[in-house]
Structure 1
């Protein structure tokens, strides 16, 4: 968990996964997508690289906080990823991976930030990326890609979808995601969290396996602080961690055999807008 491109053995890991035909989803904040890194990732990754473009404008970029990276460098990194991928297409290659540029839509959600709230904002972002991609096509001498005219309201998530894709080029999608609240830790002050006393099943402890920076293991992709720690891979094997008492008790809590941990209770609460 964390920024995967900082891992010193990332390329080795990606190559191993590709050799076993294991599809990998690499989610990055884009901060390290520089010229010496991007080609190596595209040459090694078998699967999808997801560039978190959740704050897609210079005006919304500060919402990320003090990240130590200027807007120009950040957007330049994302654009570089697209250009390097399209170079491979222009050369007749058949990439073993795809790109998703993930945009956050906050309209109609309990999120505590406002990023995309209108069809005009969606249209502006869409046009920006269509124009950029078309420009790269011209620069590389590629035939224009046939892009569909989307229904903007669908991209704004006015229908009950978690995400909607728009294809910019073969293997490159702009994905509009309905904003999530990071396990209800980032809910607008206009909402109250309504406790759900019933047992609510969550598949995460049965499917997820996350290793934090210090080796702590958690079974939830939202548990960045390790509140659900079930062990540490520096002290024991992965097998013993995922089969240990802490892991089994956490899974049992999802089946009503133990009380839900506090962090899970918060996550499973329902945000209710005040009258």
Structure 2
């Protein structure tokens, strides 16, 4: 199910874990600016000295929202922009409008200057796939013209990578998580080492309180606990968590979300 993270539940969770929490990411399979309480929650975390980050398609970065974003204390803002022209952008961002993305980025840059603020640090995130790899240099130039702080090129996770039915895997090897084997079939570059730092470092909490291992569990199927019913500390040390960690250490390839994971592979270029 989908829904909105509620402010009361958010505050309750932050109050419980803020002393151990260093970094808070405000996104998981959704657009944060659709939540009317989003920036209030950012401010709440920022006031507790927690580093905050979010990722957006920038379609809702109006002048007003851009000002509120800078005022919220948000530390890092990732703007997903997977093309420099509308024709290229819409191939992956179906229904999206590149002009809105560019306008949103300009609004944030403007308000950082107006309010004399160093934050948020603004990233352009460019997911490199076959249809946009020819615009790698163009996105660098666009970011420079707007005043974006940094461009990051992200490699794409392809579910059916052996067949690549949507023709997503780029021809530029440095931007691909996959390479062809001796039979000419794409395989992940990594060797699936039975390790994962994330299971001892972080997790995902969904809007309705579910705790899942990481962002690769996009449908929240590996449920380790529920903060609506138990404390974070209890979940972190419970049998479900211990079992999942043990299973990964014994055979990562046997866990669906881990078998096509980027652990051990360069995701950012």
Q: TM-score scaled by structure 1?
A: 0.66
> 8 Å contact 1:217–1:231 — kept in the other structure?
yes
Structure 1 counterpart of 2:98, from 62, 66, 71: 71
Structure 1 runs not aligned, ≥5 long = 107-112, 134-167
How far 1:237 sits from its partner (Å)? Answer: 2.8
Label 1:175 to 1:127 Cα distance change in 2 as closer, same or farther (>3 A). Answer: closer
Report the counterpart of residue 83 of structure 1 in structure 2: 110
Distance 1:126 1:198 in 2: 33
* Contact preservation (8 Å) 1:199, 1:254: no
Q: Distance in 2 between matches of 1:225 and 1:37?
A: 29
In 2, Cα distance between equivalents of 1:173 and 1:197? 34
- Residue of structure 2 equivalent to 1:126: 140
Shift, 1:248, TM fit: 1.6
Which of the pair has more CA radius of gyration? 1
Unaligned regions of 5+ residues in structure 2, if any?
1-27, 166-179
Distance 2:58 2:119 in 1: 20
- Kindly report the root-mean-square deviation, in angstroms, between the aligned alpha carbons of the 2 structures: 3.2
Tell me how far apart the structure 2 counterparts of residues 96 and 9 of structure 1 sit (CA, whole Å).
Answer: 20
1:99-114 counterparts in 2 under 5 A? 99-106=122-129, 113-114=130-131
For 1:53, the equivalent position in structure 2 comes to 81
User: Of the candidates 203, 210, 214, which is equivalent to residue 216 of structure 1?
Assistant: 210
The count of aligned residue pairs is: 217
Residue of structure 1 in register with 2:159 after alignment: 185
Shift of 1:196: 8.3
Q: 1:229 to 1:235 in 2, by over 3 A?
A: same
SS of residue paired to 2:63:
coil
Q: Is the 8 A contact 1:102 1:175 kept in 2?
A: yes
Summarize deviations over 1:16-47 as a string: whole Å, max 9, x none.
Answer: 22222221122222132122211111111242
For residues 96 and 123 of structure 1, the distance between their equivalents in structure 2, rounded to whole angstroms, comes to 26
* Deviation for aligned residue 1:13: 2.0
- Structure 2 equivalent of residue 20 of structure 1: 48
Flag the 1:104–1:70 CA change in 2: closer, same or farther, 3 A.
Answer: closer
Aligned equivalents of 1:240, 1:5: Cα separation in 2: 31
Q: Is contact 1:194–1:269 with CA below 8 Å preserved after alignment?
A: no
Are the aligned partners of 2:194 and 2:252 in contact in 1 as well (CA < 8 Å)? no
| Pair 1:29-2:5 in alignment | no
Cα deviations by residue, 1:200-226 (Å, 9 ceiling, x for unpaired): 201122222212344322121222111
The reply to whether residue 229 of structure 1 matches residue 223 of structure 2 is yes
